[in-house]
């Protein structure tokens, strides 16, 4: 009889652990798809916040990079940082660019670092603060948006902007 109670308690504990993992993953959007990012929303948010947006699409086409359909660079009003918005012709190219940029950011890690990462069905997000430098990356479907190497004092502003465009 004591053995049955022990098995029941272990099964109940296992069920609670599994449920808590499922709830934590769903809270991180692991099982869900994100809505696609929209270039018009990006342009509106950047304009409303005083950014100057430069279209660099033709430069990449001239260099022979046919994976890029559109590349916009939004420059902070004080030239403090840039937010790049890149639309690729396929999701694989966006993921490859995200992964390469993430690796480059991770290689810059110092002794004191904070970072977070989330991956879902159609999206990935990564941010890192290290040695006073902040980077944030977001890939959704075939679109990759990122800030690379901004001064960490702008971290909250950058996070807010990313929340507005996504």
pLDDT of res. 14 = 55
Residues 72-105 pLDDT 10s: 999 999 999 999 999 999 999 999 999 999 999 9
Residues 124-137 pLDDT 10s: 999 999 989 999 99
Burial state string for 34-65 with b = 16 or more CB within 10 A and e = fewer than 16:
beebeeeebbebbeeeebeeeeebeebeeeee
The answer to whether residue 19 scores a pLDDT higher than 50 is: no
Q: How many whole angstroms separate alpha carbon 109 and alpha carbon 115?
A: 10
- Please tell me the pTM assigned to this model: 0.78
């Amino acid at each position: 009889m004591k053995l049955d109670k022990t098995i029941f308690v272990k099964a109940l504990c296992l069920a609670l652990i599994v449920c808590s993992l499922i709830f934590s993953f769903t809270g991180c959007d692991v099982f869900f798809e994100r809505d696609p990012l929209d270039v018009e929303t990006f342009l509106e948010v950047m304009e409303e916040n005083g950014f100057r947006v430069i279209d660099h699409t033709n430069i990449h086409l001239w260099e022979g990079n046919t994976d890029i359909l559109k590349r916009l660079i939004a420059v902070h009003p004080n030239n403090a940082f840039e937010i790049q918005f890149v639309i690729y012709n396929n999701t694989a190219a966006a993921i490859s660019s995200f992964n390469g940029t993430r690796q480059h950011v991770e290689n810059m890690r110092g002794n004191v670092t904070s970072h977070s990462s989330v991956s879902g069905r159609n999206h990935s997000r990564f941010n890192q603060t290290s040695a006073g430098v902040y980077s944030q990356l977001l890939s959704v479907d075939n679109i990759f948006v990122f800030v690379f190497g901004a001064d960490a004092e702008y971290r909250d502003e950058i996070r807010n902007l990313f929340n507005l465009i996504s």
